[in-house]
Amino acid sequence: SGPVHTMLAHARAHGSRYGESVAAHLDAFGDTATAARRLNVHPNTLRYRLRRAGELFGVDLADPAVRLLADVGLRLGRLTG
């Protein structure tokens, strides 16, 4: 459980792209332009998704502990489908 689990469940139920966006942001070490390019979206779209992920699921990417848990949780989510 937790914010990442909730975010992934939301993605499965509604087709949202919050988890994918957070994962791309983390994979790009916080470089919004690089992450947006990888997702084929405008950087402002990515910023919006990251802000909404924080509002909806409590994913505060400014907190190193949350970033670590989000990164591990999203990687596990990718492995387990």
33-67: per-residue pLDDT in tens? 999 999 999 999 999 999 999 999 999 999 999 99
Q: What per-residue confidence (pLDDT) applies to 79? A: 80
As a whole number, mean pLDDT of residues 1-17 equals 88
What does pTM read for this prediction?
0.90
As a whole number, mean pLDDT of residues 7-22 equals 92
Alpha helices in the chain (DSSP H): 3-14, 18-27, 32-39, 43-57, 64-80
CATH of the domain at 76: 1.10.10.2840
Q: Which of 81, 2, 11, 12 is nearest to 49 (CA)?
A: 11
Q: Which of 34, 13, 33, 27 is nearest to 61 (CA)?
A: 27
pLDDT value at 81 more than 80: no
Q: What's the structural domain count of the chain?
A: 1
Distance of CA 24 to the CA centre of its chain: 7
Domain residues for the domain of 63 are 3-80
